[in-house]
Amino acid sequence: MVKVGVIIDNNSIVGRYIDMALSDFYAEHASYRTRLSLCSMDSQKDVVAAASAALDLMENEEVYAIIRPEWSSQAKFVIDLGARAQVPIISFSATSPSLSPAQNNYFVRTTYDDSVQVKAIAAVVQTFGWKEVVPVYEDTDYGNGLIPYITDAFQEIDTRVPYRSVIHPSAHDIDILNELVKLMTMQTRVFLVHMTASLGSRLFLQANKAGMLNDETVWIVTDGLTSLLDPVGYGAKESMQGVIGVRPHLPMSKRLERFKKKYLIGEIIHQYTFSTMICSN
């Protein structure tokens, strides 16, 4: 057995189904002699907790590698720890361009960084002829990392960025609403949202309440939110009707189709179990 650490948010969609993905892999590769033993620890959506979990996995569990953490703000510290301990950090969700595998031999990124999607976003803006766009993003390394790239892409197509709306992940709903009211007073009606699912879902719930999702307003969301719509909840998804999103294209295959079906069944069971627990309490 090869011990591999996993730093996840136990309440996230990935946290619930990473074991399912591993079992699927071995079901199709039964002849593999090397078997992974996953040592999972909860990041609690906190940078310090993620770093503490990484230290525990390296020093006490003596793992050969660590998968994740989920967000770039957590990954930065864990990647530094991995480099010092010479333990590879593997991430398929830390997408900030500021995190570069070229600068760290022990960081392996298995996805595109966020700078790749700016061309698709700029193409959408140019196609519709929008001349002003206001970025609305979270105040983290993840949120700030995309802005220089998207600003340069907009300049190339003569689209202005008259204002930048920055929202902290711990902002209260009233703070988000106040920022949205400020946006309503501006002439620009095209907004680009670059946030994680937890903050983005709250933003759109407040925007919907404020009447900002209408025929006169355009909302574009980046891959970080588009790819994680499932865990944001029914109410948030309903409030995002009409929103434009970009995400990588994954060609459909039988393997992917089977995994999606298993995921949907698992999600139904999870929601039913969660609802039953609430009713019992």
Using alpha carbons, select from 99, 118, 117 the residue that is nearest to residue 109.
99
Residue 229 reports pLDDT greater than 70: no
Strand order in the sheet with 36-42: 36-42, 2-8, 65-67, 89-91, 107-109
| SS3 of residue 5 by DSSP | strand
Interval 249-270: pLDDT, tens:
778 888 778 877 777 766 656 5
Q: Cα separation of 47 and 71, whole Å? A: 9
Rounded to an integer, what distance in angstroms lies between the CA atom of residue 33 and that of residue 191?
51
> Of 111, 143, 166, at which residue does a domain stop?
111
Q: What pLDDT, in 10s, does the model give residues 57-80?
A: 999 999 999 987 566 666 778 888
State whether 87 and 185 are in the same domain.
Answer: no
Whether the predicted model's global pTM rises above the 0.75 cut: yes
How many percent of the chain have pLDDT more than 90?
Answer: 41
Q: Residue 163 is part of a domain; what is its CATH number?
A: 3.40.50.2300
Do residue 229 and residue 277 come from a single domain? Answer: no
Closest listed residue to residue 141, CA positions, set 80, 58, 83: 80
Compute the distance between CA of residue 61 and CA of residue 65 in angstroms, rounded to an integer. Answer: 11
Q: Say whether pLDDT at 280 is over 60.
A: no
Name the residue range of residue 12's domain: 2-111
Distance CA 213, CA 215 (A): 7
Residue 60 sits in the same domain as residue 119: no
Domain count, the chain: 3
Task: Give me the count of residues in the chain.
Answer: 281
Any bridge partners for residue 158, and if so which?
Answer: none
